[in-house]
Amino acid sequence: MPYGLKRFQKAEALDFITFSCFHRLPLLEASEPKGIFEVVLEETRAHHQARIYAYVLMPEHVHLLINEPPTILLAQLLKSLKQTTSRRLKGDREKFWTGSLLRSKHPW
């Protein structure tokens, strides 16, 4: 992390998260991968008691409007979500998701 920046976790703020499929390939274009992602999203949300206010599944990326769960860090929840969906969806591919996230805090 760059020098001088402060990380605020457990602030009970909403986070807008965006993450992409590997090489921004349209791996979520078909209805089956979308359905699997939605099932895993609900399982992960319920397990970690997170609140997801909105989500958008695009063919090559995902947007989430989510709070920080009370039991774990948001980064751990996202890691769990991405690992589980990747295992179920990647097939013969090397990876399903990219390693990068775009995260922004909103004052809502």
Query: Average pLDDT for residues 19-36, to the nearest whole number?
Result: 91
Q: How far apart are CA 99 and CA 50, in angstroms?
A: 22
Q: Is residue 1 predicted with pLDDT exceeding 60?
A: no
- Identify the H or E element spanning 84: helix 74-89
78 lies in some domain: yes
68 lies in some domain: yes
24 lies in some domain: yes
- pLDDT value at residue 14: 87
- pLDDT value at residue 20: 92
Q: How far apart are CA 74 and CA 104, in angstroms?
A: 13
Residue 107 to residues 18, 30, 64, 88, 103, Cα–Cα distance (Å)? 17, 34, 16, 35, 13
**98: containing domain:** 14-105
Domain tally for the chain?
Answer: 1
45 lies in some domain: yes
Indicate the range of 4-8, 53-57, 66-70 predicted with least confidence.
Answer: 4-8
Q: Which of residues 33 and 100 earns the better pLDDT score?
A: 33
- pLDDT value at residue 105: 56
69 lies in some domain: yes
Q: Is residue 47 predicted with pLDDT exceeding 90?
A: yes
Instruction: Output the domain CATH number for residue 81.
Output: 3.30.70.1290
- Unique residue bearing structure tokens 């349209």: 26
3 lies in some domain: no
Q: Is residue 6 predicted with pLDDT exceeding 70?
A: yes
101 lies in some domain: yes
- pTM for the full predicted model: 0.78
